[in-house]
Amino acid sequence: MEDGKTVILTTLNGAWAATGSIIELFLESFHIGEGTKKLLKHLVIIALDQNAHARCLALHTHCFALTTDGVDFSQEAYFMTPSYLKMMWRRIEFLKSILEMGYNFVFTDADIMWLRDPFHRFFSDTDFQISCDHFVASPFDLQNKPNGGFYYAKSNNRTIAFYNFWYSSRETYPEYHDQDVLNIIKYDPLIAKMGLKIKFLPTFFFGGFCEPSKIFQVVCTMHANCCFGLESKLHDLKITLEDWRNYMSLPLNLRNTYKSGWRSASKL
């Protein structure tokens, strides 16, 4: 980006890359979001298999092929299966290497719709800031329930040490995925010793189906969390984008007073 050291990253496998699948909705959100289209030139899609890489090259400018010997990530990785866990930890390992190269990054799952430019909502004095499934009213409160699908990490010695600790903790908690491990180690005294400045992003700016933002006028992202399975995510994210288009089509004076909810989250 303008600072020369910040990138936006997402990962993609073959199941989410198929025609009519998640990646198309993800990219569409950048095109119809408020101030988000310009961010596409800073987005790098990390393809986890050959099918995803080929599809990325057909859709986007910046694609990176990340292969893992002996592992096929092309199929849908169902939640908490061995393939899912391998894919999540491979992601953490790769993101650690990005920090080690000196790049700050925003990581985003592809089932997150970018509705507004989020950068002016980030905390400027924070090393690592992460979205939440549930936000408890203070960005400092460790009781917040983090969601590993969206976070902003700055490259420095503290975040690199933190990622090393996070990745190595997979051996301490072998049956847990990266998000659950983070929810455990956030209390570890070692985090404080690192001097890591961590904050949790409010769901009224960075919402999801678990806890949707109720303020259309400020929401930046909507995540299809608390929604399991590819077909369910596709169905609900299409409705999310329809709701957003309907909101954006209103005259400005009506947008300023708009109070309707998200249909995709109303059933949860």
CB 216 within 8 A of CB 261: no
Q: Is residue 208 part of a domain?
A: no
Q: Is residue 114 part of a domain?
A: yes
Q: Is residue 219 part of a domain?
A: no
Which residue has tokens 């061995």? 82
Quick: pLDDT tens for 37-92. 999 999 999 998 899 999 999 999 999 998 766 555 545 544 445 566 677 778 89
Q: How many Cα atoms sit within 13 Å of 137 on the Cβ side?
A: 0
How many angstroms from the chain centroid is the CA of residue 52? 18
pLDDT at 110: 97
Q: Is residue 261 part of a domain?
A: no
C-alpha span between 91 and 41 (Å, rounded) = 22
Tokens read off for 88 = 């999540």
Q: Which domain holds residue 98?
A: 6-203
Count of structural domains, the chain: 1
Residues of the chain with pLDDT under 50: 74, 77-80, 268
How many angstroms from the chain centroid is the CA of residue 238? 18
Q: Is residue 224 part of a domain?
A: no
Q: Is residue 132 part of a domain?
A: yes
Q: Nearest CA to 149 among 224, 217, 78, 200?
A: 224
CATH code, domain with 159:
3.90.550.10
Give percent above pLDDT 90 in the chain: 79
pLDDT at 137: 87
Does this model's pTM top 0.95? My answer is no
